[in-house]
Amino acid sequence: MTARHDVALVTGAGSGICAEVARGLAARGLHVVLLDKDAEAVHRVADGLGDRLARDPLIADVTDPHALTSAVDSLAPQHQPGVLVNGVGGDTRARPVTELTEADLQEAVTHNLASVFTMTRLCVPAMVAAGWGRVVNLASVAGRTYTRFSNAAYVAAKAGVIGFTKQCAYELAPHGVTVNAVAHGVIGTERIRRAWEEKPPQWTADRVSHIPAGRFGSVAEAAGMVCHLCGEDAGYTTGTVVDVNGGLHI
């Protein structure tokens, strides 16, 4: 079974950056397979894709490898993705390491790293068979350096995503499959804005003051680079970590 150049699978596609990525890829002419655990949210996104929706959304929790395996196994040959966007993750809990436990680390790794590992492992063989593929992993500025916005468990998990991306890029380049990561800074998704609204105004002002651009990034700005790396003209770009962070980390 081989992957199709014109089919993209996007995880975490029910909201935020990944919903916008799905819309962006559809606008570029790809047929999109959506995956999310929130059936109501992902069906709302699906309703806006029209005939660019490849099939009914896959409803699965990315922290459950068995559910992911079943979801990918359910794809018909015409829905085998040549493009995979691993887009879930995120943690807005700014907690010191002295308050974290092993359970926090396990949760961060399961959500942010293990899910990327599982989806890549499941989808890449069909890309190798086709001799073409694109994998884009959502990392984070936190995995590039340190964070004022989250915690050490999240940083460790996203740093793992970057390491995984580079190794996969090295292994898969001879097969025509590129693997890249996009390290976003603070993006103004609904989830992030809700989390920040709960903080004292001075807390928010202090964090924004450390962003040279002086603002959140937009969801469209965040998704645009992801969509570019999914394209035919990104075929000589692999193993990269593209920073989309308003100058927060240079």
- The per-residue pLDDT for range 59-109, each reduced to its tens digit, is 999 999 999 999 999 999 999 999 999 997 767 677 889 999 999 999 999
Q: Are strands 81-86 and 31-36 parallel, antiparallel or unpaired?
A: unpaired
Could you list the active site residues? 154
Of the spans 63-67, 145-149, 196-200, which averages the highest pLDDT?
A: 63-67
CA atoms of 4 and 127, how far apart (whole Å): 8
CA atoms of 190 and 103, how far apart (whole Å): 27
Confidence of residue 141 (pLDDT cuts 50, 70, 90): very high
pLDDT at 191 over 80: no
What is the pTM assigned to this prediction?
0.94
